[in-house]
Amino acid sequence: MHSENIDEILREAEKGITNHLKTSLESGLIDEQLYDDALNHTFKNLKRWLTVSHAPLEKTLQPMRLGIINSVRQGKWEDIVNAFRQNVRFGTGGIRGMMASDRDSIRKLKENGLHTDILKGTNTMNDIVVLLTSAGVAKFGKAQPVPFSKIVVGYDSRVRGRELAECVAELFLAYEYTVYFFDAPCPYPEVTFAIPHRDIKADVGVLISASHNDYRYNGFKLSCSNGSQFDPDQRERMYKEFIDFDDFEAIRLRSFKDAKPGQLKFLGGSEPEDSEYYGQELIDMHKKYRGHMREFLMTKDIKAQQLRTPLSIAFCPFHGAGIKAVPGLLEDVGFAKKNIKSIDGTKSKMGLNTLDGMFPAFCSDPGREQQPDPGDPRAAETAVKAFKEDYPGEFDKTDILIGTDPDADRCAIVVTVPENQRHVYANKDYTLLPADDVWTLVLWYRFQREIEAYGQIRDADKKFIVLSHTTSDSLVLLARKFGIGVIRTWVGFAALAASTRDVWDGKAQDFLQLVDGKDQNYVDLCHPFVCDCMDMGNGKRSINIAAMEQSNGFSILGGPPPDERSLGEGGHVRDKDGTLAALLVAEIAAWAKENGTTLIGLLDKEIYSDPDIGMFATFYEPDPLDGEYPGIEGDRIKKGILLKALEYHRAVQAGGFEIAGTPIKSSVIYRTGKYDTIYPPSGDFVFPDEGIRFFFDDEKLSHLTIRPSGTGNSLRFHIQLRALPTESNLLETKAQIRTKGRDIMDELRRLLDAPRQ
């Protein structure tokens, strides 16, 4: 491209960007802060990318330039501003964002490969952003007192996920790391298991995935040497000192075929996939992973049990990496292959049992880009419909339907509803169990089986659970009933792992006194990752028996590890694992069936009807329901809703406020300040990064929470209601509390002017 043509494009781009931002400001679509930030960064970033030259990247840079030029000539100013107004935000687990906002671009990327001329920028997920981020991580590793030398790299079913993973691997090869590369789409928890495995002992791990987000997204999920996420101070230093979106010279590449002897190893199963291994070693990581998870079963001979009382299982991978992992795990422990039915939806061409990053079962309605999230009731409906297509007349005979998201770190459960309860569940023959109920059952079951085997919970005085503050209090009451300690953290598995690590390290006293029994207000900053603690024995407890979050995440972290690069003693991976959760819930369903009941039956009898626990009904909705508020305007929309929520908080403090006829007794703002650099406090506005909570009762067991995303333009609405039913009014109470929860959610949306999209 001649320099005069580039100069012409740059002049046109600067003018178009400036005019677009000015018009957006004048029309009220963005505020002054957003305008200034975008004006300062958009054109500067575009100019850098359009004019950069770096020989090792020329195959990538040429189509990237063409994508920018085409967008400028077509006057796609909104798309250009969104692509270049900032760098992709570096969050707790790495980076995540849209590859493109439109379906045609994603389809073009899928069909033509990474080197295609769609619009790429500093604020989109693309091969250049992945390489620049990888270079920063690689340099950070080499700058450590003991330099990093090994990395595990994996990918799930996202569009061009393998090629992006190869970009990461080739860069780390060039930085003289030994690379362990998964030979096929794999669950994220298998990556976090492989990193600290004794046969590898890697320093870092990367998975190319955007978890449960829709097909437009991709991400770079980053793990440290023990498989958990990096500590905030390490992550902050890594980003500020080593990741530079202008430093193209830091990008070096070494192809797989040019890897030094022993520098590249592949991870997979016992047999090669349809991949090229370049004569390198293949390690059977799947076998090691499955063998490790067997240790967490309470039923030691499931095969014998299944011969007596076979469990009928349906499984939906939602186009993702659980496609082989979950059925293989279930078969490995003794569930019969013939009784595990994989769901595809062949007749409707859903392709749920295919590794397709376009997620065809979830993008049939343009403008409503639904997520392949197994915890979404609409996804459950899709899975049930597909099952009934694939296996006519079999649904009522199915005991449990398991779903995992594309990287298989989340698990959700669908069960059939007894006929006498269908009026409670919107007259449907199935229901998606809230993760809150599923984890409560897992915990209850493990307590009961241990008492059955040993007469008591062994070392109860040393054990504790950890859960996020938006996860059900039924878990808190259940744990305390059995003499188990509780730590409640802020949202995200990184917080669950960090608090557990501090307990292991004897640092629990550092936060016990700070948070125990104390509420915060919006002026004070809360502890960075702990919300509150109960019955922790003055910091003497040390064995985590469950880590749980409302967003369908689960693991067992165990006791203090032998060193900082290992899993907890007797524990599982230090991030969430949907495959382990699938296994444990299948075990409970099998035990329930053998004992003449079901998961709903266990919940009704052992949890809801227990006066020490009661019925906790939880309701969750994101806003918007799918994706994010669009583009740069999304920041303004999110902030506007939060300002209304803050007004209602102040109304509660002044006395007298209700929602859907339910009085609000008190409210609190939870803020750690972790996103203050993105949303600096100003005037009456502070960014409530962990949410604004409104309590309906003095015991603070019924409440609603409005919680914003820190790095994305979206909000989360959580409601928890408690009731104490008796055996005689159980179904009536179920119906009443579910109706009340829906009414509160509807009224909340009206008050916030946040209608369902």
The answer to whether residues 295 and 429 belong to one domain is yes
Q: Do 313 and 405 have their domain in common?
A: yes
Q: What distance separates the 2 farthest-apart alpha carbons in the chain?
A: 83
Structure tokens at 621: 């909705």
Instruction: Please give the tally of structural domains in the chain.
Output: 5
Residue 109 lies in a domain: yes
Q: What is the pLDDT of residues 326-378, one digit of tens each?
A: 999 999 999 999 999 999 999 999 999 999 999 999 976 655 678 999 999 99
Would you say residue 110 lies in a domain? Answer: yes
State how far the Cα of 50 lies from the Cα of 58, in Å rounded to an integer: 12
Q: What is the CATH classification number for the domain harbouring 528?
A: 3.40.120
In order, the DSSP letters of 566-631 are: SPPBT---SS--HHHHHHHHHHHHHHHHHTT--HHHHIIIIIIT-TTT-EEEEEEEEESSSS-S-T
- Choice between 244 and 578, residue whose per-residue pLDDT is larger: 578
Judged against a pLDDT cut of 70, whether residue 221 lies above it is answered with yes
Is residue 218, in this structure, part of any structural domain at all?
yes
Closest CA to 223 of 234, 212, 213, 214: 234
* Residues 140 and 212 both lie in one domain: yes
Helix 322-333 to helix 578-594 angle (10° resolution) is: 40
Same domain assignment for residues 643 and 725: yes
DSSP-derived 3-state class of residue 225 = coil
Q: Of 433, 463, 496, which residue is a domain's last?
A: 433
Are 62 and 170 within one domain?
no
- Alpha carbons 555 and 190: distance in angstroms, whole number: 13
In a domain, residue 599? The reply is no
Say if residues 697 and 622 touch (Cβ distance below 8 Å). no
Residue of 413, 241, 446 lying closest to 314 (CA atoms):
413
Within 13 Å and on the Cβ side, how many CA atoms surround 424?
19
Name the residue type at position 743.
D
List the CATH number of the domain containing 702.
Answer: 3.30.310
Rounded distance between C-alpha atoms, residue 17 and residue 568, angstroms:
52
Mean pLDDT value of segment 729-754: 96
Would 607 be classed as within a structural domain?
Answer: no
Q: Is residue 585 part of a domain?
A: no
Residue % of the chain over a pLDDT of 70? 97
Q: In whole angstroms, give the CA distance from residue 270 to residue 261.
A: 22
Instruction: Clarify whether residues 211 and 111 are in a common domain.
Output: yes
Q: Are 177 and 298 in the same domain?
A: no
CATH number of the domain bearing residue 377: 3.40.120.10
Q: What is the model's pTM?
A: 0.95
> Tokens 């996020």 correspond to what residue?
468
* Helix (H), strand (E) at residue 182: strand 178-182
* Average pLDDT of the chain to the nearest whole number: 93
Confidence of residue 517 (pLDDT cuts 50, 70, 90): very low
Helix, strand, coil % over all residues of the chain, rounded to 5: 40, 15, 40
HSE (CB half, 13 Å, CA atoms) of 257? Answer: 2
Which pLDDT value is given to residue 364? 60
Task: Give the domain extent around 644.
Answer: 615-752
Confidence of residue 679 (pLDDT cuts 50, 70, 90): confident
Q: What is the pLDDT of residues 453-473, one digit of tens each?
A: 999 999 999 999 999 999 999
The whole-number average pLDDT for the span 606-625 is: 96
- Same-domain status, 401 and 449: no
The reply to whether 450 and 530 lie within a common domain is yes
Which pLDDT does position 515 carry in this prediction? Answer: 53
Query: Is the domain of 476 the same as that of 358?
Result: no
Is the domain of 119 the same as that of 236? Answer: yes
What would the pLDDT profile of 101-151 be if each residue is shown by its tens digit? 889 999 999 999 999 999 999 999 999 999 999 999 999 999 999 999 999
**For the sheet containing 615-623, what is the strand order?**
615-623, 715-723, 703-708, 691-695, 666-670
Do 233 and 295 lie in one domain? The reply is no
Question: In this model, does residue 675 exceed pLDDT 90?
Answer: no
Tell me how far apart the terminal alpha carbons of the chain are, to the nearest angstrom.
Answer: 44
Q: Which of the four pLDDT bands, split at 50, 70 and 90, describes residue 273?
A: very high
The last residue of a domain, from among 576, 601, 633 = 576
Nearest to 351 by CA among 336, 361, 340: 361
Is a pLDDT exceeding 60 seen at residue 741? yes
CA angle 437/227/717 to nearest 5° reads: 35
